[in-house]
Amino acid sequence: MNVLKFGEMKAAGQKISMTTCYDYWSARILKETAIDAIIVGDSAAMVMHGHRSTLPATTDLMVQHTAAVVRGAPDKFVIVDMPFLSYRKGLKPAMDCVETLMHAGANAVKLEGIEGHQDIVEHIVESGVPVMGHLGLTPQSVNQLGGFKVQGIGEKAAARLLQHARRLQDAGCFSMVLECVPVATAKRTTEAVAIPTIGIGAGPHCDGQVLVLHDLAGFNRDFRPRFVKAFEDGFDLVQRAVDAFDRDVKSGTFPTDAESYQ
Ligand code: KIV
């Protein structure tokens, strides 16, 4: 995968698959999969660190996660979230953040919204760094949105989302995430732009889909919104393995001679 392939896949009607990844060991697994690209999401703050939102993610945190992922899956296309407010304090701090993330191994950066920072998006793109947009439910604005809620409902909101999608395209973005928007809004937006839309809770008409790795692998028992499909029961798998280990240790059946040095 590379940045040009995104547009080519949309033009050819091929769906794009993406998932999140935050660490070396799961990146090693993704390396051996057909997944098209990886997002080192600021959802790391929630999934990996137990925070209630993505706001606590910092550039330093994203760098640690990015470097680990790139070591584990060096050939995958890795898109990294610019953290909360990092692109809202002016051009210089934004570009410092982009530089740091790219030095950590990112192939592209992702940022939320367009209002008030279109010039920064354009500057990042003009600097040779691919940018992915993110519209709909933009988790960094959770306090402004009044919670993690479906966005783009109704004609006015759908038209606004479409206008923002066009602006992201005009600013030079190579693709955009559409998060938690109604099927019809996502379809209309997808058909209106030439760059691929990657949906999460945005229905089947997007050009690609992304899910958080821990959600699709069934590690997150407490979080099952409508749009999540757990393709395996990872929670159960790990729990069974650990309980089996515990039983064998306590019954004295592990380790055997086969697992011991004589
Ligand atoms: O932070 C994240 O994980 C994301 C993806 C879900 C798109 O932004």
Read off the pLDDT band of 3 (50, 70, 90).
very high
Radius of gyration of the chain (CA): 20
Tell me how far the alpha carbon of residue 142 lies from the centroid of ligand 1, in angstroms: 13
Task: Out of 122, 179, 232, 259, pick the active-site residue.
Answer: 179
Domain ranges of the chain: 3-231, 234-262
> What are the tokens at 94?
């934004």
- Superfamily of domain covering 3-231: Phosphoenolpyruvate-binding domains (3.20.20.60)
Q: For a ligand 1 pocket test, name from 54, 69, 137 the mutation site with the most ligand atoms within 8 angstroms of its C-beta.
A: 54
Condensed to tens digits (0 to 9), the pLDDT of residues 162-204 reads 999 999 999 999 999 999 999 999 999 999 999 999 999 999 9
* pLDDT > 90 in the chain, percent: 98
Alpha carbon 244 to its chain centroid, in Å, reads 33
**Closest residue to atom 2 of ligand 1, CA basis:** 41
Segment 235-245, tens digit of pLDDT: 999 999 999 99
CA of 253 to the centre of ligand 1 (A): 43
Query: Any long-range contacts for 199-204 (C-beta under 8 Å, 24+ apart)?
Result: 200/227, 201/137, 201/150, 201/225, 201/226, 201/227, 202/136, 202/178, 202/227
Atom of ligand 1 nearest to the CA of 18: 7
Residue 223 has pLDDT above 90, yes or no: no
User: Six-digit token pair at 55?
Assistant: 């706001």
Tokens encoding 82: 């610019």
The CA-CA-CA angle for residues 216, 206, 186, to 5°, reads 110
Q: Is 179 a catalytic residue?
A: yes
Whether the pLDDT of residue 157 is over 90: the answer is: yes
pTM, two decimals, is: 0.97
Question: Is residue 206 helix, strand or coil?
Answer: coil
Does residue 81's CB lie within 6 angstroms of at least one atom of ligand 1?
Answer: yes
The pLDDT score that the predictor gives to residue 222 is: 83
Closest residue by Cα to atom 8, ligand 1, is 41
pLDDT digit string (tens) for 85-144? 999 999 999 999 999 999 999 999 999 999 999 999 999 999 999 999 999 999 999 999
Q: Closest residue (by CA) to atom 3 of ligand 1? A: 41
Determine the pLDDT at residue 224. Answer: 86
Position 208 scores a pLDDT of: 98
Is the CB–ligand 1 distance for residue 181 below 6 Å? no
Distance of CA 257 to the CA centre of its chain: 45
Average pLDDT over residues 32-39: 98
How many contiguous H segments (helices) and E segments (strands) does the chain have? 11, 8
What is the distance between the alpha carbons of residues 138 and 229, in angstroms, rounded to a whole number? 21
